[in-house]
Amino acid sequence: MQPFAFKLKHTDGAARLGELRTPHGLVETPAFMPVGTQGAVKALRHEDVERLGAQIILGNTYHLFLRPGDELIARRGGLHKFIGWDRPILTDSGGYQVFSLAARRVIKEDGARFQSHLDGSPRMLTPEAAVDIQARLGSDIAMVLDECLAYPATRDAAAESMHRSIRWARRSRDQLIRLRTSSAGAIVTNTGQAQFGIVQGGVFKDLRGESADATVALEFEGYAIGGLSVGEPIDMMYSVVGDTARRLPDDRPRYLMGTGTPGDLVECVARGIDMFDCVLPTRNARNGQLFTSEGRLNIKNARYAEDDRPLDERCSCYTCLHHSRAYLRHLYMAGEMTAGTLNTLHNLSYYLDTMKRIREAILFNAFEKFRLEFQRTADRLSLES
Shortest distance, CB of residue 79 to Zn ion, whole angstroms?
29
Which residue in 12, 48, 92, 140 is the catalytic one?
92
Strand partners, 196: 143, 222
For Zn ion, which stretch binds (CB under 5 A), given 107-115, 270-278, 311-319, 357-365? 311-319
Which of 79, 257, 266, 317 lies at the binding interface for Zn ion (CB under 5 A)?
A: 317
By beta-carbon proximity to Zn ion, the closer residue of 317 and 331 is 317
Q: Does 297 bind Zn ion (CB under 5 A)?
A: no
Q: Is 278 in the site for Zn ion (CB under 5 A)?
A: no
CB of 167 to Zn ion, least distance (A): 46
Tell the smallest beta-carbon distance from residue 345 to Zn ion (Å): 7
Active-site residue, from 274, 277, 312, 353: 277
Q: Residue 132 catalytic? A: no
| CB nearer to Zn ion: pick between 17 and 320 | 320
List the one residue from 169, 315, 342, 352 that touches Zn ion (CB under 5 A).
315
- Which residue, 245 or 317, is less far from Zn ion as judged by CB? 317
Stretch that binds Zn ion, among 12-20, 49-57, 280-288, 308-316 (CB under 5 A): 308-316
Return the range that interacts with Zn ion (CB under 5 A); candidates 244-252, 307-315, 322-330, 362-370.
Answer: 307-315
- What residues from 327 to 356 belong to the interface with Zn ion (CB under 5 A)? 346
The 3-state secondary structure of the chain, one letter per residue? CCCCEEEEEEEECCEEEEEEEECCEEEEECEEECECCCCCCCCCCHHHHHHCCCCCEEECHHHHHHCCCHHHHHHCCCHHHHHCCCCCEEECCCHHHHHHCCEEEEECCCCEEEECCCCCCEEEECHHHHHHHHHHHCCCEEECCCCCCCCCCCHHHHHHHHHHHHHHHHHHHHHHHHHHHCCCCCCCCCCCCEEEEEECCCCCHHHHHHHHHHHHCCCCCEEEECCCCCCCCHHHHHHHHHHHHHHCCCCCCEEECCECCHHHHHHHHCCCCCEEECCHHHHHHHCCEEEECCEEEECCCHHHCCCCCCCCCCCCCHHHHHCCHHHHHHHHHCCCHHHHHHHHHHHHHHHHHHHHHHHHHHHCCCHHHHHHHHHHHCCCCCCCC
**Does the annotation count 92 as an active-site position?**
yes
- The Cβ of residue 29 has, within 10 Å, a number of other Cβ atoms equal to 29
Distance CA 303, CA 179 (A): 58
Phi/psi-derived region of residue 84, left when phi > 0, alpha when psi is between -120 and 50, beta in every other case: left
**d(Cα 265, Cα 271) in Å, to the nearest integer?**
10
In the bound state with Zn ion, the residue whose beta carbon lies nearer, of 59 and 262, is 262
Does residue 320 interact with Zn ion by CB under 5 A? yes
Q: Please say which residue, 207 or 285, places its beta carbon nearer to Zn ion.
A: 285
For the CB of residue 292, give the shortest distance to Zn ion in the complex, in Å: 8
The minimum distance between CB 349 and Zn ion, in angstroms, equals 5
Closer of 179 and 315 to Zn ion (Cβ): 315
How many residues appear in the chain? 385
Give whichever of 211 and 319 is closer to Zn ion, judged by the CB atom: 319
CB of 316 to Zn ion, least distance (A): 7
- Give least dist CB 87 to Zn ion, A: 22
Binding site for Zn ion (CB under 5 A): 315, 317, 319-320, 346
Instruction: List the catalytic residues.
Output: 92, 277
